[in-house]
Every structure is written in structure tokens, then in C-alpha cells.
Structure 1
């Protein structure tokens, strides 16, 4: 997010005003400043290592990432303090938290506002169920198992408020429809927040015990270990991304005429998967499959890939080997196991006329059917040395014409709906010297473009069978 859309600015401004109203009562005389200061300092201290290069190097680059790692401190504050005071304790740490992308100041302000509002709601939920009293005090034992109820209510309130706010910021920043913006957020966040709620309850009980606040700090040790494991996961994910980038760059260097094609196919594949309601945790596999669908071109002679004129039957047979080459290239990369089938079968056709194995219908893997539609669409809407880009409505009409014979109709319909909603703004490919008239192409249904005469072969990005002529989108 290099620039913030006006709607997002207004949204962040409203969140800041609401957070200020929630925190303001804590500034009045009589607030429990000792507990507020201790919890605020503890939370800020937990967030600080992620911004400290020295500590990061000392821990091998694995430091906790983000506010969620230390929600037990915030939930303990929600159980120990009044709502306004608990919200205030969350602000310093939120402002110190690490920011991955610019602009940093608005992102920190948004995080502080959202966290303060969520902790304020959590404290209200816990207070309504008698949370502070259930923790016990000194020699008074905690009211267990009843104390689980206010702790669970606090964790649930925190999760709900953050989910609502995060979905709202996604909708305003990315222009997503509400259903898409909030889809999957609550399901992914609920279980971790409930676990953090139990840790926060334990911390609150020990804080109120005869041993004092120092005893509550022992809860943070296992939580910090879990944060370290989470950071390790992020490092592994970054390594995966680097592997993908290296493979794509190798393909782009070899086949300069399709530079940027892989990323666009990955993006279009995700649009299709998301439109079909695929869970968010599966979208990475779809994206990897789309991005790496042509990685097998590394095994095709460069002179064939860069040939400007028509391909001979022998050259086409060589290009038709690239799905199998791609399958072999990624065979030993564990995290790409599920993407391999799409790489191998993205040139199969619904009527069985594709390659390499002539699969038909439902026998073609679902991811491969998604990638096939995305691949053909981008091939038709991109300029190549041997063909000019078609307008989006023309490409869509061609996909619809071939639905059922070459492409899965369900995947075509999903792409059309996604284009109607989001439009299509691909980057210019390496061999393009001019942008089509009007700049970026319009949305799929925005312009009324007369349909061209139907070609004798479908506009697939696949290399055709020897008995057919080459499509106008892309050779392979």
C-alpha cells in the first residue's frame, strides 16, 4: 500500500476517533496507573525485538512478527483493568510494532486504533461476566472453572472486533466486496484467540496471586517459544517465495516474449479460485500452480521458444513436452507437491484433445482446469511477437465459445464474474512497444466490442495438436 485510498483514510480516521473516545476515561484521576504502566511496558517490550536488528541477528533472524503474538498480555489487561485503562495499555506496544510495508505511520496508527478498540471491547465482555472478581486476589483463590467464561468472552470479543475492523480495512484499501473482504477471517483467527485467552487468564490469575506481577511473567515464556516457532514458519514461507521467484525469473530470461505472463496467470488463477469459494489457505497452491505452469520451458530449446515464424510439426512436439519437463523440475520441491498436477495437466482439454495424456472432463485435476482458463485468457490479452492483444470482451467471448470442449465451463464462468467485479489490468510484456488504445483494458463487460470472425481453432495458450493450426493467443 504505497498510497492510501480516500475511503481507507476516512475509515482509519474514524477508528482513531473511536479509539480516542475509548481511551479518554483512563486519563482521569484515580486510574490504576501502576498496573497500566507495567502491562503497557511489558507489551511494548514484547513487540520491540521485531524492530531491533541486533536482537534479530542474535536470534538467527527469527523474532516474533506482529501484535497477535502477544495477545495474552492484552487479554490479561482486559481481565485486570477497566475497559479504558486496558485499551490505553495496548497503545504503546501497537505503535512500536514492526511494519512490513510502507507507509509506516498510517499502518501503526491503524494498528494502535484497532488493537485499543478490540481490547476495550474484550474488557467490557469480561467485566460483564465478573472477570476481575473471578481472578481472585491475594489469598482469595480464583473462581475456577467459572473464570474460564469471562476469559473466553474476552477472547471472543477481541477476535470479533479485530475481524470486523480488518475486513473493513481490506474492503476500503483493496476495493473488495464485503463478502470477499471478510471471508475466512473469523475462522482462521478464532482458535488462536481462544488459546491466547487461556494464556491471558493464567497470567491474570498469577498476577493477582500472592506472588504478584512477577509470577504472571512466567506465562510469557511458552508464548514466546510459540512466537519463535511462528517466526520460523514465516522464514520458511519467505524461502518458498524466493524459490518461486528464481524459477519464474529463469523462465522469463529464456522466453522473453512472455515476460510477466507467469505472474498474470497466477493472479487470474487466484481470481477463479476465490470466485469459486476456495478456502484462503488453498489459494497459495493455486497461485504457485499458475505462476509455475510454464516452468518446463526451461527444458525447451531457446531457438524454438524465440522463433518468430510458424513452428514446424517437430518443433511443436518439442514444445508439447514442457508440461512433463515442468513436472520433473518441481518433483523434488516438497511445498509444490500439490501444484505439480496443474503444471503437468494445464494443457489437457475437456474433450480429451489436449496433451500430454489426453485426459478429459473431471479426470483433469481441478487446479489444472483453473490454470488452463487463466493461461488462455492472458495469452489472448497480451501482445506477443507473433500476435496482438485482443480486448478483454473478445477474449471472454472466445473462452465462453470454447467452454465445455476445451475449458471447464465452471472455471470460465468464475473468471468472467471476477473480471466483471475487479477488471483486468495486466502489466505490459517485455516485447510490447505500445499499449493498446485506451491504456489498460476495460472491464469484461464495459465495452461493446464486435466479435471477430471465429477462428478455426480455439484460442488456447496450449500448443495445438499436429492436426490443428496454431492459436492466435500463444504457442505454448
Structure 2
């Protein structure tokens, strides 16, 4: 089972308790149970199909429930979906609890605002444009609750700093939720019309088209991920020294990028840069990558071509963006003594300065077949010592702050010596060249 911080478990439990309290007044409301059951079943089917294919939420039915039902009844609509849909990752119970509590609170909040503004009567009479005001307010409330709860999860479970956990969440969520809200409003109006629930279901057809468009985007991203995995696996097969190193450099790059306050798109690009920074080793002779003992000056010059090889390999992959510059320049040094071009200071792209620190940190903390990794604190002290000459001090400070808050779990990247057998001394010049 994946380790979930105690604070995250407590947060989910508190949200679930709050959702349960929202349903307590259900007996005091006039609830059309057949509407609740039909909407809950429809929402469960939609969630099953959409989550299974696209991994995203689907809110038109939930918002239609918020427009048609009393708030406590609207909060019940997500329950069957949470119980029946497949949960891919553990802990299963905690994830199911979250899947029911979060949309339940959002639907309850939307229904409260909608009904408080007279939306029920406007829906029944199909009074346009007056029906848009309470519906729009309900959609805003729905989106606000979702993003507030999502930010809490980011802060408690993922470790994102509280000051940045909610940054931009509402703005990014508002447009798709507003589209779902419009579809939910159309469903609710048709549901109350003489044509009944069957006509309301027709609203889901255009949503299916938009789902198909999203599926194409999803497949494109999956193709990107497959491309990256194939390149990384090829490097790992060729050079066992780096096995797992690329993924960890990607993870450390993400920590630095988030600590610096970069937006999600740039964070993803930095992750790609970290994962692919050594892809140019595919162009280096295997005998040099696996050589035991010191490298000759000529051999070192050949290995130092790997950033340029890597840049050429990914030049035509448009989705990598500035990751291409990081691949080319991640061995440049702030004082200008690095390679391949001897860039100095701010002439080195920011993405390359991030990856350089992440790369050096993992190289120091990972256990190799011929040397044991240094403790994290020792590695951070070494990075701080080299800041200003080799590494950008901003990137080093960001990594230090992130690791002291989130921790780090170094891993073996090659054949680890058997217990009780001392590791051989590292070959001269090997560590830097292999990085």
C-alpha cells in the first residue's frame, strides 16, 4: 500500500465527515427518490466510462442534480459512482472515500446557492434568461468547492507549499466546469419540460463529442509519454550505471521547479528535461560508458559530446519545448568552465540550471556498483559549497528547501554490492564522465 501521510488521511476523513453532515437534513426535505436514483445511476455510468477512458471527472449529471434536487439529495448523487467505479491505486478505501466526499460537497454547495437564488422556480418555468443567474452562481460555487478541496489534497498529501497549493486551480477549472454546468442546466430544464428525462439525456450527446476530442488529446499525450519511456529504456539498457537515474533526476527537477513557483506546464517540461537529459548517451560507444578505470582525454571528449547528441535526437520533438535546451546545456557551469559551449551565468538556460542541480544531487546520493551514495545532507552541503561557481544558487536553495520539507529516498541504480562486501573504490574520473 502506498504511504499516505497522516495529515492527508485526517484531511480526507474531515471532508467525508462534512459531506455526511450535509446529508443529515435529508428526511426534512421533499425528495423525489426516483429522480435521485436515476441521476445517481446515470452519473455512475458516465463516471465509469469517462474515468476508465480519460481519467477525468464528468460533471453535467452532477450539476443537473444540483439544479433539480434539494441540497441534501444532490449530495447523494455521487455515492454509487464512488462505490462502483474501479480504483487503480491503493489505498482503495481512502480513494473511494475521497471520490464520494469531494463531489458530494461540491454538489451540495451548488444546490444551496442555486436554490437560495430562486433557481428551482426558474427551472420549472424555464424562465430565460433569469434561470442563468442562479445556475451560474451554482456553477461558481461548485467549482470553488472542488478547487478548495483539491488544493487541500495537494498541500496535505503531495506536500505542495500551502501558499501555492491553490494558486491557479480555480481559474484552470472554471472553463471546463462552466461547460459542464451549461450542459447540466440544459438537462435540468428539459427534465422539467413536457418531454421529460429522455429528452434530458440527449444533452449528453454533444458532451460525448467533446469527450472524443479530449480522447484525441489524451492519446497524443500517451504517445508523448511512450516516446520518452522508449528513449529512457534505450539509455538504461546501454548504460546500466544510469538505470533509474533519469527518472529520479526528473523527480528532483520537478521539486526544484515547484519550489521556484513555476506553472504546471513548465513543471511538466522540466520533468521531461530531467528524464531525457542523458539520452545523448545513445550516441556514445558502449565500451566507454562501461569502462572500468580512468578515461583518456580523448575518451572524455567523446563522452562529453552526449549533450549535443541528445539535442540532435530530440530536435524534432516539438512537445519537449525548452527541455531541448536543458538536454544540450545541463553540463554547463555557472563560471563558464562547463561543456559543450562553455556558457556562463544567465547565458545558461534556466531549465538547464535546474537539471544540472538535480543531476548532480542524484549522482551523489545514489549507490553505484562501485561506490556507495552519500547521505542526503552531505550531498546538499556539497551542492551549497559549489553554488555560484558550478551551480545556480537559486536552484540549489530551492532543492534544499524542497527536500527538507518532502524528504528523498535514494535508490540503487546498478548492481549493489552484497551485504558485508565492501564496495570497490570509484575509478578516477568516472563519476563526472558518467553523469
TM-score by length of 2: 0.90
The superposition leaves residues 252-273 of structure 1 with CA deviations (integer Å, 9 ceiling, x where unpaired) of: 1211122221111111111110
Once the two structures are superposed, the pairs formed by residues 120-199 of structure 1 within 5 Å of their partners are 120-135=108-123, 137=124, 140-144=125-129, 146-199=130-183
2:92 is matched with which residue?
A: 104
3-state SS in 2 of match to 1:22: helix
Distance 1:241 1:381, change over 3 A: same
1:91·1:115 contact (CA, 8 Å) conserved in 2? no
2:253 is matched with which residue?
A: 269
Take 2:255 and 2:280, find their aligned partners in 1: how far apart are those partners? 24
Take 1:29 and 1:313, find their aligned partners in 2: how far apart are those partners? 82
What residue ranges of structure 2 are gaps of 5+ in the alignment?
421-427
The superposition leaves residues 307-361 of structure 1 with CA deviations (integer Å, 9 ceiling, x where unpaired) of: 1211100001100110111112222333224311111111112222221122222
Distance 1:312 1:473, change over 3 A: closer
1:256 is matched with which residue?
A: 240
Residue 395 of structure 1: CA displacement?
Answer: 2.3
Residue 378 of structure 1: CA displacement?
Answer: 1.5
Comparing 185-194 with 175-184, greater Cα deviation is found at 175-184
Take 1:82 and 1:377, find their aligned partners in 2: how far apart are those partners? 55
Cα RMSD (Å) of the superposition? Answer: 2.5
2:333·2:344 contact (CA, 8 Å) conserved in 1? yes
Take 1:176 and 1:47, find their aligned partners in 2: how far apart are those partners? 28
1:402 is matched with which residue?
A: 386
The one of 253, 266, 278 equivalent to 1:294 is: 278
Q: Does 1:246 align with 2:230?
A: yes
Q: Does 1:213 align with 2:197?
A: yes
The one of 336, 341, 360 equivalent to 1:376 is: 360
1:119 is matched with which residue?
A: 107
Whose helix proportion is higher, 1 or 2? Answer: 2
3-state SS in 1 of match to 2:76: helix
Residue 471 of structure 1: CA displacement?
Answer: 7.9
The one of 35, 45, 64 equivalent to 1:76 is: 64
Comparing 82-91 with 172-181, greater Cα deviation is found at 172-181
What residue ranges of structure 1 are gaps of 5+ in the alignment?
53-62, 437-468
The superposition leaves residues 265-318 of structure 1 with CA deviations (integer Å, 9 ceiling, x where unpaired) of: 111111110010001122111011001100111111111111121110000110
Once the two structures are superposed, the pairs formed by residues 222-233 of structure 1 within 5 Å of their partners are 222-233=206-217
Take 1:275 and 1:242, find their aligned partners in 2: how far apart are those partners? 28
Residue 2 of structure 1: CA displacement?
Answer: 2.7
Residue 4 of structure 1: CA displacement?
Answer: 4.1
**Aligned pairs, number:** 428
Q: Does 1:332 align with 2:322?
A: no
3-state SS in 2 of match to 1:88: coil
1:58 is matched with which residue?
A: none
The one of 37, 55, 58 equivalent to 1:65 is: 55
